[in-house]
Amino acid sequence: MRKPAGRVRLSFIRPMEPELVEQPPKGGEWGHEVKFDGYRTQVIKDADGVRFYTKNGFDWTAKYRPLADEAEAIEADSFIIEGETIVTNEAGLSDFHALRSAITKRPQDLYLVAFDLLHLNGHDLRDMPLKDRREILQAVIPAGGHIQFSEALPGTGEAVYHLACEAGLEGIVSKRLDSLYRSGSTMNWRKIKCYVEQEMDIIGVKRETGKPAMVLMADKGGHYMGGAFVTFKADKRQALWDRVQGKAGAPPPKGLAKEKAEWLKPGLVGRVKFLKGEAKLRHASLNDFRDAEERRDEP
């Protein structure tokens, strides 16, 4: 039986956050969703109206006004919905780099992809299994609007992950279907990001005894991006060190004087594999290298 919402004001709930892992989990007890590239968002509706909160609990209702107006029309006295605020590009993929501009200049283009329901009409649903919470959420979200339900992707985690990366998505989120909602990081939810490859400038190397060798990279605009591990076999590794020797002796780049590294003169380019959607290189490895004046062999 529904409890009356009354004048109770619902409070922001600290989000449940997936742990980053290398591989999707196996087994039928997991559900898999697209990892959207946007801002984590919590939507609260109660007797005081609708409010949109960021991951850290800041009220962004004014920034998300068109979405807030749409949330008002959801047929429920009160709710707490979790989702991701995104904007899409011409290919229909979420575009994080365009999101900030869309929020300020064209908020009518924003979407909220809803993936969890924590509270509904006076009932706290956090002790309910995820599968049941999502069934209720799907029934609550009207079709065809800018607030949409995050559909589960059919198939095994491995197959879903492969297809997501092939489609150019950032990755997937795998969640135990029986998981209860608990604030903070948890292995009951796991995010698995896709990898991308890109050429960057090798500006330095780190070679310390007992530690894996690493090259330090900068993008084409000269911005420091972080390090990538060198995992080549002996002959290719030696070829890299020979190239490095010919470029050694550059002064430390601005802001990097404290890094214990050999800094290199311009001219050495590396092809790096790294996690998509990160501001700096993460889980990165060097796949190949060349002198800048060499023409790269096209596949």
pLDDT digits (tens, 9 = 90+) for 104-162: 999 999 999 999 999 999 999 999 999 999 999 999 999 999 999 999 999 999 999 99
Rounded to 5 degrees, φ, ψ at 228 are -130, 135
Dmax over CA atoms of the chain, in Å, equals 77
Amino acid in position 22: E
Could you tell me which of 78, 70, 69 has the C-alpha nearest to residue 7? 78
Residue 74 shares a structural domain with residue 220:
no
* Residues 144, 150, 152, 157, CA torsion sign: positive
Is 50 exceeded by the pLDDT of residue 233?
yes
**Can you spell out the DSSP letters for 85-110?**
EE-B-TTS-B-HHHHHHHHHH-GGG-
Residue 100 shares a structural domain with residue 241:
no
Q: Considering the domain boundaries, does residue 3 fall inside one?
A: no
Q: Considering the domain boundaries, does residue 296 fall inside one?
A: no
- CA–CA distance from 2 to each of 76, 122, 180 (Å)? 11, 7, 21
d(CA 217, CA 281): 9
Residue 186 shares a structural domain with residue 204:
no
Q: Considering the domain boundaries, does residue 229 fall inside one?
A: yes
In 55-207 the beta strands, taken as DSSP E runs, fall at: 79-86, 111-120, 123-124, 147-149, 171-176, 184-193, 195-206
116 vs 276: which has the higher pLDDT: 116
- CA–CA distance from 142 to each of 52, 71, 145 (Å)? 18, 10, 7
pLDDT bin (cut points 50, 70, 90) of residue 295 is: low
Domain count for the chain: 2
pLDDT bin (cut points 50, 70, 90) of residue 211 is: confident
Average pLDDT, integer, range 49-69: 97
Residue 180 shares a structural domain with residue 254:
no
pLDDT digits (tens, 9 = 90+) for 11-29: 999 999 999 999 999 999 9
- pLDDT, the chain, mean: 92
Which of 167, 193, 219 is the endpoint of a domain?
A: 193
| Domain containing residue 260: CATH number | 2.40.50.140
Residue 165 shares a structural domain with residue 77:
yes
Boundaries of domain holding 86: 16-193
Is 90 exceeded by the pLDDT of residue 73?
yes
Neighbours of 8 (CB within 10 A): 13
Rounded to 5 degrees, φ, ψ at 24 are -70, 150
Report the percent of the chain where pLDDT is more than 70.
96
Report whether 270 contacts 199 (CB < 8 A): yes
pLDDT bin (cut points 50, 70, 90) of residue 2 is: very low
Which of 174, 193, 212 is the endpoint of a domain?
A: 193
Amino acid in position 225: M
Q: Considering the domain boundaries, does residue 11 fall inside one?
A: no
Which of 149, 173, 193 is the endpoint of a domain?
A: 193
